[in-house]
């Protein structure tokens, strides 16, 4: 009950921020990671990889391995007069005693304009012990985020007085989140991004939108017996998110199904303000390599120790996603394509 009260207070506090801010612009929500995009960004309640830095930093607290991820995407394929790209690189380091630290970079690029975000994130489950939870875990996470945007210098920029003071701008903001995960497979996540609302305008005020997310995840596989999962089925999740950004609302849902611990299939759909209608799909491959390793185990006194052999694993991950909107400029293009390479070690 105490954990639920914490989530409700978090929800009300940050909802107050997003509903009482100035007019906002820039830094569109273009997502991060092919896996989450294949789920239509219904990821706040799951957030179980390094891309949690973007959706819900609290999810970092549930990671059990170090992770490295590289993501590249081509947006609005076949768009005339411009080329739009997303790229990201993330690293998370897990400690049994201190939680998970993460450093990530995300870039949006066009031929005329570029945005960069650098994430310094931390997630842990300290609140679980503080609240003495037995049947669940309450993870919390925070991010300090550096923002930078720049315009390519050309003839238009040279004549426009907006750029008299420069063609780039730096800013700092922060994100925060909570993730309540129960043993029955149900989890609830809430997060707020850009909660300081930094001004990134060159001449006139242009505030980065505060983004509020809340999501549910139901991990069906937690209800199955281990012997059944080991045969051919090892993961199935159903996800739903609500996103509020700049007076725009979006509801999205997705599901993920994994077979033989190798192949993952994903699909999702998002619907929102201004008749937003977006279909998402994705596929993933994971190959696990197991190898023996030796660790030093302390003995009875401070000077003695023994060498113990343990088994470790290395996961190689490839994810692909495709999204397509049924209205707006994207309906005249070949959609968005995402490719992600990852390692868990």
- The CATH number of residue 11's host domain is 2.40.160.40
Q: Is 260 left (phi over 0), alpha (psi -120 to 50) or beta?
A: left
* % of the chain surpassing 90 pLDDT: 56
Largest Cα separation within the chain, whole Å, is: 76
- pLDDT tens digits, 132-162: 888 889 999 999 999 999 988 776 666 677 6
Average pLDDT over residues 227-243: 78
Going by the DSSP 8-state scheme, the letter that residue 167 receives in this structure is S
- Take residue 42 and report the two structure tokens written for it: 């219904």
Look up the domain containing 173 and give its range.
2-344
State the pairing for strand pair 263-272/248-259.
antiparallel
Q: Give the pLDDT of residue 172.
A: 97
Q: Give the pLDDT of residue 9.
A: 57
User: 126 versus 36: which is more confidently predicted?
Assistant: 36
Q: Give the pLDDT of residue 79.
A: 80
User: 219 versus 303: which is more confidently predicted?
Assistant: 219
pLDDT > 80? residue 39: yes
- pLDDT tens digits, 262-300: 999 999 999 998 778 999 999 999 999 988 876 666 666
Contacts of 38 (CB under 8 A, 6+ apart): 254, 256, 266, 267, 268, 280, 281, 282, 283, 284, 319, 320, 321, 322, 338
**Residues in a beta bridge with 233:** 259
Chain-wide mean pLDDT for the chain? 86
**Using 50, 70 and 90 to split pLDDT, how confident is the model at 316?**
very high
Q: Give the pLDDT of residue 5.
A: 55
pLDDT > 90? residue 230: no
Average pLDDT over residues 177-189: 92
Give CA–CA dist 304/249, Å, rounded: 61
Q: Give the pLDDT of residue 14.
A: 53
* % of the chain surpassing 70 pLDDT: 82
Average pLDDT over residues 21-30: 67
For the chain, what is the domain count? 1
Predicted structure pTM score: 0.88
Measuring CA to CA, how many Å separate 245 from each of 27, 44, 114, 219? 11, 15, 21, 27
- pLDDT tens digits, 62-74: 999 999 999 999 9
Q: Is 187 left (phi over 0), alpha (psi -120 to 50) or beta?
A: beta
**Residues in a beta bridge with 197:** none
Tell me the helix, strand and coil percentages in the chain, rounded to 5: 15, 55, 30
DSSP string, 293-311: EEEEEE-SSTT-EEEEEEE
Average pLDDT over residues 4-19: 55
Q: Give the pLDDT of residue 25.
A: 54
Q: Give the pLDDT of residue 309.
A: 73
């Amino acid at each position: 009950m105490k954990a639920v009260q914490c989530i409700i207070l978090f929800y009300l506090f940050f909802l107050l921020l997003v509903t009482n801010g100035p007019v906002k612009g820039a830094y569109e929500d273009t997502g991060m990671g092919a896996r989450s995009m294949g789920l239509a960004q219904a990821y706040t309640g799951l957030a179980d990889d390094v891309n949690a830095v973007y959706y819900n930093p609290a999810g970092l607290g549930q990671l059990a391995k170090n992770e490295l991820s590289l993501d590249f995407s081509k947006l609005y394929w076949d768009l005339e007069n411009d080329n739009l790209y997303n790229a990201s690189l993330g690293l998370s380091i897990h400690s049994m005693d201190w939680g998970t630290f993460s450093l990530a970079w995300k870039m949006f690029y066009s031929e005329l304009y570029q945005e960069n975000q650098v994430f310094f994130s931390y997630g842990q489950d300290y609140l679980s012990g503080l609240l003495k939870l037995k049947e669940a875990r309450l993870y919390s996470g925070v991010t300090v985020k550096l923002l930078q945007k720049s315009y390519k210098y050309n003839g238009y920029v040279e004549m426009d007085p907006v750029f008299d003071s420069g063609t780039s701008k730096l800013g700092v903001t922060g994100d925060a989140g909570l993730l309540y995960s129960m043993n029955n497979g149900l989890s609830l996540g809430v997060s707020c991004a850009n909660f300081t609302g930094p001004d990134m305008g060159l001449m006139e005020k242009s505030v980065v939108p505060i983004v509020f997310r809340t999501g549910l995840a139901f991990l069906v596989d937690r209800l199955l017996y281990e012997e059944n999962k080991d045969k051919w089925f090892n993961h199935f999740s159903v996800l739903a998110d609500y996103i509020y950004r700049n007076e725009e609302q979006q509801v999205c849902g997705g599901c993920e199904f994994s077979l033989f611990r190798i192949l993952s299939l994903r699909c999702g759909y998002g619907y929102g303000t201004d008749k937003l209608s977006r279909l998402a799909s994705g596929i993933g491959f994971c190959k696990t390599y197991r190898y023996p390793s030796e660790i030093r185990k302390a003995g009875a006194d401070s000077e003695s120790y023994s060498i113990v052999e343990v088994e470790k694993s290395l996961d190689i991950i490839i994810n692909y996603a495709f999204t397509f909107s049924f209205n707006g400029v994207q309906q005249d293009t070949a959609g968005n394509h995402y490719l992600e390479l990852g390692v868990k070690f």
